[in-house]
Amino acid sequence: MTSAVSESAPIGDGGVEGHVLDTLVIGGGFSGLYQLDRLRDLGFSVKVWDAAGGLGGIWWWNCYPGARTDSTGQIYQYSYKDLWKEFDFTELYPSWDGVRNYFEYVDSKLDLTKDIEFNTVAESCVWDEDKLEWTVRSSDGKQQRARTVIVATGFGAKPLYPSLEGLEDFQGECHHTARWPQGGLDMTGKKVVVMGTGSSGVQVIQEAAGVAEHLTVLQRTPNLALPMRQRKLTTEDNDRLRETLPERFETRYKAFAGFDFDFIPQNASELSEEERLATYERMWEDGGFHLWLGNFQDILVDEEANRTFYDFWRQKVHQRVADPKVAEMLAPATPPHPFGVKRPSLEQNYFDVYNQDNVTLIDSTVEPIKRVLPNGIETANGFIECDVLVLGTGFDNNSGGIMAIDITGVEGKTLQDKWAGGVDTYLGLSTAGFPNMLFLYGPQSPSGFCNGPTSAEYQGQVVSDFLAELKARGTRRFESTEEVERAWRAHVDEVFQGSMFTKARSWYWGANVPGKPAQMLNYSGGVPAYFAKWEEIKNAGYKGFEFQ
């Protein structure tokens, strides 16, 4: 197809570089790359814009010391096109560079990079109702017209920086974990302060404790971290693990959170203490997210059942931490929140490092930072000298990466204005007033509760099949209605309110971002229920969308 393509040609009717693409994908992580490959196979002209400097998606940015997946490598990969049959992971839980190696392998098989523009930050998207197309501009002056735009920025695209007096005047090394120097940073012999004990904080702390002259950890909320049980993998290990992968991939689609396991179909509350503890001990030895999402079926719905596991977990932590006061800070007698309603981290020696003389733990709710000075930080209790300040302060999750793009839809209305009081979407895929635009791994989808590659493939297949159907119909424009997105928001909220996720201030519902509307931004009904809902919509002729 050449530049003679009609300005109002149907979705998927071809296009050339410099003219009108069928689809522009913003974001080159698992979801974006899957979409690129699938749509190319379906005959679409498609490109990817990615802000990163190379392959890896979030794993290009997250290259801080200790950064690694919390899914085993075998499940943290694509299941399609036999891509899983040859690549060997060197560790059970791959590090950031291990994931990058996997992306390079995928590229060698699918030749993706020829259609990716790296170092390209999408700055604005403007809809043209007359031409029925989007014009997307980058921060460095690139421009691309496309009939459809897929925003696949992921749930952790926008780092959240703390508002601290004097932060800009700090003269040492100061980095957010999501914007770590690509060349690395040697913390050997340095005085290091880590703000935050979420997943990235836990991982940096484990690494810094082994090399820093002194490490100070500022904890706001204890992390109910679980044992990772990390180990190296040989070629033989990879071959053995591959034997059951087809069945494990199938389980991903059926399990609540898109992993290769699901909850035990039994209630903890109905067992004797002896039976319950025996199960917890077996699972503890295996480690990983089985302890969270493969636990008893009532763990995340019954507070009494939940407390039985918290008490078990607390005892395990206290056994590893010598100082009772420090142990109590890390695992208090009264839970900071029910287990599992905040995403737990996987740790290797996190609790053990607090036995070292060079590590100090501070409760930042009791001893908050007053200001940052050029050579350290001042807390309510005094001055802490610091050479390296690590900001493990999380993200403006789910909607933040999307809202960072200036998106203007029908009649000049911006997405920022529409979502100012809260996000409204149809299954997390689309929103009224913004035709021919789709979101992947975005707000009100199962993103935060779903293994990333699982979502990339299954939600990605939903989107590519949808676009292929519209192409076959000759459709030029699609848009979901306000009515169905209001209903979806109500359903997401109803499921949330009926759960225990309301009992923790978490990024699941935007509670970590000052001023962000309090709203559940992740579908907590489970992966099977989500895709069952889409099947209903599809079988009803894509009910809820309007076409022309």
Predicted local confidence at residue 15, as pLDDT: 46
| Encoded tokens for 412 | 């000049």
Predicted local confidence at residue 11, as pLDDT: 79
At 206, which helix (H) or strand (E)? helix 199-208
Predicted local confidence at residue 383, as pLDDT: 97
Predicted local confidence at residue 13, as pLDDT: 65
Q: pLDDT tens digit string along 142-175?
A: 999 999 999 999 888 888 999 999 999 999 999 9
- In this structure, are residues 434 and 424 in contact, taking their beta carbons and an 8 Å threshold? no
- In this structure, are residues 138 and 157 in contact, taking their beta carbons and an 8 Å threshold? no
Q: Distance between CA atoms of 361 and 326, rounded to whole angstroms?
A: 7
pTM: 0.94
Which residues does 457 contact at the CB level (< 8 Å), separation at least 6? 34, 78, 79, 80
Residue 527 has pLDDT above 50, yes or no: yes
Give domain limits for the chain: 20-55+112-158+397-540, 160-224+346-394, 226-339
Q: What are phi and psi of 404, to 5 degrees?
A: -70, -15
Predicted local confidence at residue 513, as pLDDT: 84
Question: Is 160-224+346-394 in the same CATH topology as 20-55+112-158+397-540?
Answer: yes
Question: Of 26, 25, 37, 35, whose CA–CA distance to 107 is shortest?
Answer: 37
Predicted local confidence at residue 384, as pLDDT: 98
Q: Distance between CA atoms of 391 and 221, rounded to whole angstroms?
A: 15
Give 517's pLDDT tier (boundaries 50, 70, 90): confident
User: Quick one: 160-224+346-394 is in which CATH superfamily?
Assistant: FAD/NAD(P)-binding domain (3.50.50.60)
Residue 18 has pLDDT above 80, yes or no: no
Residue 44 has pLDDT above 70, yes or no: yes
Distance between first and last Cα of the chain: 22
- With b for 16 or more beta-carbon neighbours within 10 A and e for fewer, the 463-496 pattern comes to bbebbbebbeeebbbbbbeeebbeebbebbeebb
Give 8's pLDDT tier (boundaries 50, 70, 90): low
Give 4's pLDDT tier (boundaries 50, 70, 90): very low
CATH for 20-55+112-158+397-540? 3.50.50.60
Q: pLDDT tens digit string along 89-134?
A: 999 999 999 999 999 999 999 999 999 999 999 999 999 999 999 9
Predicted local confidence at residue 3, as pLDDT: 32
Predicted local confidence at residue 16, as pLDDT: 44
Predicted local confidence at residue 5, as pLDDT: 37
- The DSSP code sequence of 181-205 is -TT----TT-EEEEE--SHHHHHHH
Q: pLDDT tens digit string along 337-359?
A: 999 999 999 999 999 999 999 99
- In this structure, are residues 50 and 38 in contact, taking their beta carbons and an 8 Å threshold? no
Residue 183 has pLDDT above 90, yes or no: yes
Q: What value does the mean pLDDT of the chain take? A: 94
Q: Which residue has the tokens 């998207």?
A: 125
Q: What is the mean pLDDT of residues 444-458?
A: 91
Q: What is the mean pLDDT of residues 53-57?
A: 95
Q: What is the mean pLDDT of residues 380-391?
A: 97
Query: Residue 440 has what DSSP assignment?
Result: S
Question: Of 354, 395, 399, whose CA–CA distance to 225 is shortest?
Answer: 354
Tally the C-alpha atoms within 13 A of residue 394's C-alpha that lie toward its C-beta.
19
Sign of the Cα torsion 314, 318, 324, 330 reads negative
- In this structure, are residues 385 and 377 in contact, taking their beta carbons and an 8 Å threshold? no
Range scoring the smallest mean pLDDT among 179-183, 510-514, 522-526: 510-514
Predicted local confidence at residue 257, as pLDDT: 92
